[in-house]
Structure 1
Amino acid sequence: MSETLFGIHGAALELRSQRLGMLTANIANAATPGYKARDVDFAAALAARSSGADASSAVAGATRFRIPVMPSLDGNTVELANEQMAFAQNAVAYSATLSFVEGRVNSITRALKGE
């Protein structure tokens, strides 16, 4: 039912939330030897989700390991500046999608109240 009410935006919000978690884990492990930074190919995850996959499967299928520009000697592939930038961009997109969904909920609520 949420697909008909929110269209692609409900799925996008769910996927962006999971991507925020993955980017947060990368940032938290910036000093962990051997940690491999991961990210979600958002377009691939959204396409999978739109084709009927659940959010976890869509994210799992679209998860990619980052290839560092400057590999570290300890095997960690987190490049903090890149992770912070990706996090900020995703947070802005999450906020925009959330605003759209909130607007849709408000419209439905007003319609149900007969306003």
Structure 2
Amino acid sequence: MMDKLDAALRFNQEALGLRARRQEVLAANIANADTPDYKARDLDFGGELRRALEQGRAGNGLALATTAASHVHGGSTFATDAGLLYRVPSQSSLDGNTVEMNAERVEFADNALRYEAGVTVISAKIKSLLAAMQQ
């Protein structure tokens, strides 16, 4: 039963986790808009979602790499730079900073809107699953 619930919600769980991670990255870009030599980062949402679904990590975080059979197999939930890309600026700055505030604000608002839409979708899915269980 739990396997079916996990399968029903897995895509949305991964998508929301990646949206939250992207929001953190975009917020860091905005916070460092005046930091000399700061390089703006972003997340390839589609590629990361595809990779997460193929790996089957379902919220476990990152899989640990092991080099011997006796190593502990586990996961980690801390943030990492894996999957982050550098953003190419359309206009360079003299101090080496690649953050473009207008672009960051647009991406931040778009990602926030998509996160809220994801929450709405998963909430509706949970309600429909609860209704089906009650019958």
Runs ≥4 in structure 1, deviation > 6 angstroms? none
Deviation at 1:23, TM superposition (A): 0.2
Q: 1:63 to 1:74 in 2, by over 3 A?
A: same
Matched, 1:13 2:19: no
Q: 2:7, 2:36 → 1: CA distance? A: 45
| Preserved contact between residue 42 and residue 62 of structure 1 (Cα < 8 Å) | no
- Equivalent residue, structure 2, for 1:52: 55
Correspondence list, 1:77-88, <5 A: 77-88=98-109
- Equivalent residue, structure 1, for 2:127: 106
Deviation at 1:101, TM superposition (A): 0.5
The one-letter amino acid paired with 1:16 is R
Identity of aligned residues (%): 36
Instruction: Please report the RMSD computed on the Cα atoms of aligned residues, expressed in angstroms.
Output: 2.1
Deviation at 1:34, TM superposition (A): 1.0
- Greater helix content: 1
| Preserved contact between residue 17 and residue 94 of structure 1 (Cα < 8 Å) | yes
Aligned residues: 114
Deviation at 1:53, TM superposition (A): 5.8
| Preserved contact between residue 9 and residue 101 of structure 1 (Cα < 8 Å) | yes
The 10-residue stretch of structure 1 (42-51 or 59-68) with the greater mean CA deviation from structure 2:
59-68
TM (norm. structure 2) is 0.75
- Equivalent residue, structure 2, for 1:68: 89
Matched, 1:27 2:30: yes
